């Protein structure tokens, strides 16, 4: 039975806009019951009002474990057992390794601890229910290839990748476990966080709706790494970048050699895996 089916229940954090709201629409289009969560109550209410279907809402700061537990209780009260948890909430505060402590703390609190808080609040209950279900955590290509310039964000998303890989392994150790774990890895996506004040989507970006549909396809296909291309970077290019980054370790190159002046030409000539 598909998780994305009529009567199944989903909880989505960071759902007042962007990818989270698009995922909510994709779930509702398939007859699911959806609980939206976001820290911004006004935007959350507007988002809920824009949707058709069985929608509940809960104001929630995912960095606060008590609020995430309250979200769990509200979701169950509204729609019953949770079949799909999408830990989507995220922020970005550009900084350097040695500066911007407030941005560091805020980014890790939401992007990484928000996911961990979601797992602690929901997974034990989902395991106890024994139903088919899925946990989708929002990663980022930046958490894999680690481009310069946004250290805290990259660290947070690298952490989400590791947590989600470990979650998938843990599920496999539980006899009869019917839960799956998935890492959704968007490419360049036009959302409120990435728009930078622009009113129109750049040609190179995907929409949140495209990412949401890719998520549904990936979960239903049983994919763990659900990599989203965009209109600028194809899968061959992504594979080349990922493999080159891993090669910095195995080949003894300088850190982030893709952006090092002595290795730029070598990367351009690299055929990829």
The per-residue pLDDT for range 53-85, each reduced to its tens digit, is 999 999 999 999 999 999 999 999 999 999 999
Token pair for residue 177? 């476990």
Distance CA 57, CA 71 (A): 9
Tell me what pLDDT residue 201 has: 75
Tell me the average confidence (pLDDT) per consecutive run of 10 residues in the chain, 273 residues long: 92 97 98 98 97 96 98 98 98 93 97 98 98 97 95 98 98 97 94 66 89 97 96 94 98 98 96 95
pTM of the model: 0.95
248 burial level (CB within 10 Å; 0-12, 13-18, 19+): middle
Q: Where are the domains of the chain?
A: 9-233, 234-273
Supply the CATH classification number for the domain 9-233: 3.40.50.720
The 33-38 sheet, strands edge to edge: 55-59, 33-38, 9-13, 84-87, 133-138, 179-185, 225-227
- Residues with catalytic annotation? 153
């Amino acid at each position: 039975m598909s998780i994305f089916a009529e009567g199944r229940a989903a909880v989505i954090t960071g759902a007042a806009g962007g990818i989270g709201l698009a995922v909510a629409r994709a779930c509702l289009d398939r007859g699911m019951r959806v609980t939206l969560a976001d820290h911004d109550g006004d935007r959350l209410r507007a988002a809920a009002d824009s949707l058709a279907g069985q929608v509940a809402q809960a104001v929630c700061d995912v960095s606060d474990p008590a609020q995430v537990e309250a979200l769990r209780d509200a979701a169950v009260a509204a729609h019953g057992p949770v079949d799909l948890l999408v830990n989507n909430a995220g922020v970005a505060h550009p900084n350097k390794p040695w500066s911007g402590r407030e941005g560091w703390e805020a980014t890790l609190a939401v992007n990484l601890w928000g996911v961990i808080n979601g797992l602690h609040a929901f997974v034990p209950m989902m395991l106890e229910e024994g139903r088919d279900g899925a946990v989708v955590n929002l990663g980022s290509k930046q958490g894999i290839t680690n481009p310069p310039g946004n250290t805290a964000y990259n660290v947070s998303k690298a952490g989400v990748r590791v947590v989600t890989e470990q979650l998938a392994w843990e599920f496999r150790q539980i006899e009869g476990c019917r839960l799956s774990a998935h890492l959704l890895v968007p490419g360049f996506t036009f959302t409120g966080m990435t728009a930078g004040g622009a009113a129109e989507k750049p040609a190179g970006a995907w929409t949140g709706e495209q990412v949401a549909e890719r998520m549904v396809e990936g979960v239903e296909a049983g994919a763990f790494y659900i990599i989203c291309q965009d209109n600028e970077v194809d899968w061959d290019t992504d594979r080349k970048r990922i493999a080159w980054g891993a090669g910095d370790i195995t080949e003894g190159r300088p850190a982030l050699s893709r952006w090092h002046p002595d290795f730029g030409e070598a990367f351009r000539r690299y055929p990829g895996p």
